[in-house]
């Protein structure tokens, strides 16, 4: 379990977007995505500007990027940065999980997927975010994917790690707390989540008294992330049981943005 060491905690997240990263020159073209969709199933190409540009309601991209509109579970997502156009800007890697050595420094190129304009205002709704994560997990099987960057958490994950965690969650398993969210040690010795607010409406703040052992603190964090994704925002103090049976006290912060955690 890798826990970040407090870099830029609390920075603004980048909204609902996910990038797939490839070695230079190995990004797929639109035709490769079409072929993959036909073989895999579960999603479809709902609009392809390279096939019929005359009916496009918007330019390909304000940076000239090639793109596709994907349809999954009745929701549309824009996939940009395809070849032969320029890649998307690689998002920052602040938290890394099951990532190949030196992947961040390998000069990788990105394609990026985000909810389509039809979903403006609804990009944080759980069905939209779940579908985005599922599509990213599915597309991570494309040959050449080196990493999956989940932008709300500023996390990069190895493709198999990301795919396994997301698909288990979609099938009813535990939420993949280290991947779709992240945990980082804060300067005062506490621990804080990043990206959880997209799923639960609040982020998590574990107080230093529970962080005498970082591994134990991380276990608490992962357990509570799963709990908060299911429970939603908390507006009053409550007590829960931690992973080792210890009592924990949860309390919303004064501004309501965080759930603070102490011994119960």
In this prediction the pTM is 0.89
SS3 string, 174-190, reads CCCCCCCCEEEECCCCC
- Domain residue ranges in the chain: 18-170, 182-263
Tens digits of residue pLDDT in 7-37: 232 333 347 999 999 999 999 999 999 999 9
* Residue 179 binned pLDDT confidence (cut-offs 50, 70, 90): very high
**What is the per-residue pLDDT across 221-252, written as a single tens digit (0 to 9) for each?**
999 999 999 999 999 999 999 998 999 999 99
* pLDDT for 50: 73
């Amino acid at each position: 379990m890798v826990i970040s060491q407090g870099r830029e905690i609390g920075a603004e997240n980048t909204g609902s977007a996910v990038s797939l990263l490839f070695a230079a020159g190995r990004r797929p073209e639109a035709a490769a995505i079409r072929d993959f969709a036909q073989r895999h199933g579960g999603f479809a190409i709902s609009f392809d500007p390279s096939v019929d540009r005359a009916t496009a309601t918007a330019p390909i991209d304000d940076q000239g990027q090639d793109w596709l509109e994907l349809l999954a579970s009745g929701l549309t997502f824009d996939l940009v940065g395809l070849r032969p156009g320029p890649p998307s800007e690689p998002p920052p890697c602040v938290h890394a999980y099951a990532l190949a050595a030196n992947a961040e420094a390998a000069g990788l190129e990105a394609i990026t997927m985000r909810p389509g304009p039809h979903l403006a205002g609804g990009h944080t709704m759980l069905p939209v975010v779940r579908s985005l994560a599922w599509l990213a997990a599915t597309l991570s099987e494309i040959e050449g994917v080196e990493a999956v960057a989940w932008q709300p958490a500023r996390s990069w994950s190895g493709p198999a790690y990301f795919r396994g965690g997301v698909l288990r969650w979609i099938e009813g398993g535990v939420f993949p707390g280290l991947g779709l969210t992240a945990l980082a040690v804060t300067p005062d010795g506490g621990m804080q989540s990043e990206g959880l607010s997209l799923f639960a409406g609040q982020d998590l703040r574990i107080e230093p008294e529970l962080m005498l052992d970082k591994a134990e603190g991380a276990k608490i964090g992962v357990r509570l992330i799963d709990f908060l994704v299911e429970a939603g925002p908390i507006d009053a103090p409550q007590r829960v049981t931690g992973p080792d049976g210890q009592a924990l006290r949860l309390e919303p912060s004064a501004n309501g943005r965080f759930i603070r955690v102490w011994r119960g």
